[in-house]
Amino acid sequence: MRDGFRLALTGATGDFGRSVLNWACGCDDIAEVTALGRRATGERHPKLRETFLDLAGRIDLESVRGCDALVHLAYCVEEPHDKRLAYQVNVAATKSLLQQAREVGIGQLVLTSSANALGVRNCGTGKTCNEADYPAGDRDDGHYYFQHKALLEHLANWYWVNVTDGKTKLAVVRPCYVVGEHFDNSGLQTLLSKVVVYPRPSRSYYQFLWDTDLVDAYATILTHGLSGLYNVAPADHTSVTEICSISGARLIPGPLGALKAGSNLAFRLRLTPFSGHWVTLGDPLLDSALLQSTTEWRPSMSSANALTKYLATRGS
């Protein structure tokens, strides 16, 4: 990073966004941080300024004209009943940010994808995927978040092929399941409840990554000014059977189709915060060898250790 580095950030009030905001405010190489969002962060720091931005409305990045980088972390993950809203935030707004970032002269745009972009066909296989694997989530009509992240990657691929003037570099971070001390969401609540009902738990896998490791990955990408797609994950993975063993939960295996149908019904009745869109054989698994061979980034702990650490923070 150059002296006087100016960073803009969306999603600063989210679980992971707050981790990135804290890092940016404490980083000596960053002179100014602009948080873009609908809600105030509640933070006070001499580097920090805040500007209103609603990703469901008109996108205007004039307030961050000439910033060295924009890290985009604001996405609709918790499931809305109106999937059109999720599409607007996750896909349409990302397309607008790509266009606007170039127009206002942002040096580097960092988008956030997900292992889910690789699609449900890569769930439960035990096979790790690299950056060359096709983001097959674009075919998952019944899994909105998988599809939206795949479409984000398609937008990025179009940009890398068609925009060659070098005005705004584009990097896409594709992380696994992130946990951290202050994290709390419906997915974690379900996985770590006292009773877990899950399809094929011994072959349903997750990779857990501690949030500071992912912050380090973003910092590394910003420091090196990288472009391209990068997986971010530990080398190991954790099955749902192992998760329940670590958490002490009672595990009840169930058929995928029935659990998906039941979740859809409960969601329509507003009894649960998620539908069958999230009923899968875990997540696709990632190989992060590219980032590790390109830079000095390394995960500080295994998937199992990240989960154990998260459980310890919940109990404290």
Beta strands in 120-226 (DSSP E): 128-129, 169-175, 177-179, 195-198, 205-206, 208-210
- Please compute the mean of the pLDDT values over residues 165-191 and round it to a whole number: 93
Residue 289 pLDDT > 80, yes or no? yes
pLDDT tens digit sequence for 260-281: 999 999 999 999 999 999 999 9
Strands, E, within the chain: which ranges? 5-10, 30-37, 48-52, 69-72, 108-112, 128-129, 169-175, 177-179, 195-198, 205-206, 208-210, 228-232, 238-239, 250-253, 285-286
Interval 234-252: pLDDT, tens: 999 999 999 999 999 999 9
According to CATH, the superfamily of the domain at 5-179+208-233+285-301 is NAD(P)-binding Rossmann-like Domain (3.40.50.720)
> Does 166 score more than 90 pLDDT?
no
Mean pLDDT of 172-196: 94
**Rounded Cα distance, 68 and 236, in Å:** 35
- pTM for this prediction: 0.95
Average pLDDT, the chain: 96
Alpha-carbon distance of 130 to 289, in angstroms, equals 8
28 Cβ neighbours under 8 A, 6+ residues apart: none
Contacts 24+ apart (CB under 8 A), 37-44: 37/10, 37/11, 37/12, 37/13, 37/74, 39/13, 40/13, 41/12, 41/13, 42/13
**Is it the case that residue 316 has pLDDT exceeding 50?**
no
- Per-residue pLDDT, 314: 83
- Interatomic CA distance for residues 34 and 51, integer angstroms: 7
Computed over its alpha carbons, how large is the radius of gyration of the chain? 19
CA 207 centroid distance within chain: 13
Give the residue-averaged pLDDT of 10-14: 96
Q: Is the pLDDT of residue 1 over 90?
A: no
- What confidence score (pLDDT) does residue 15 get? 92
Residue type for position 316: S
Residue 193 is predicted with a pLDDT of: 94
pLDDT tens digits, one per residue of 85-94: 999 999 999 9
Contacts of 225 (CB under 8 A, 6+ apart): 107, 108, 169
Cβ–Cβ < 8 Å for 217, 297: yes
pLDDT, one tens digit per residue, over 68-87 is 999 999 999 999 999 999 99
Residue 315 has pLDDT above 80, yes or no: no
**Residues in contact with 163: Cβ distance below 8 Å, sequence separation at least 6, in sequence order:** 102, 170
pLDDT at 184: 87
How sure is the predictor about 132, in pLDDT bands with cuts at 50, 70 and 90?
very high
**Strand, coil or helix: 286:** strand
**What whole-number distance in Å separates Cα of residue 238 and Cα of residue 203?**
9
**Phi and psi at residue 165, to the nearest 5°:** -80, -10
- Predicted local distance difference test score (pLDDT) of residue 76: 94
Mean pLDDT of 294-303: 98
165: confidence class by pLDDT, cuts 50, 70, 90: confident
| Dist. CA 287–CA 226, nearest whole Å | 18
CA distance 30 to 235: 31
User: Domain residues of the chain, as ranges?
Assistant: 5-179+208-233+285-301
Number of residues that make up the chain: 316
Span 292-312, mean pLDDT?
A: 97
> Quick count: other Cβ atoms within 10 Å of Cβ 245?
12
The 3-state DSSP composition of the chain as helix, strand, coil percent (nearest 5) reads 40, 20, 40
Q: According to the model, what pLDDT value does residue 238 have?
A: 98
Within a 10 A sphere around the Cβ of 41, how many other Cβ atoms? Answer: 18
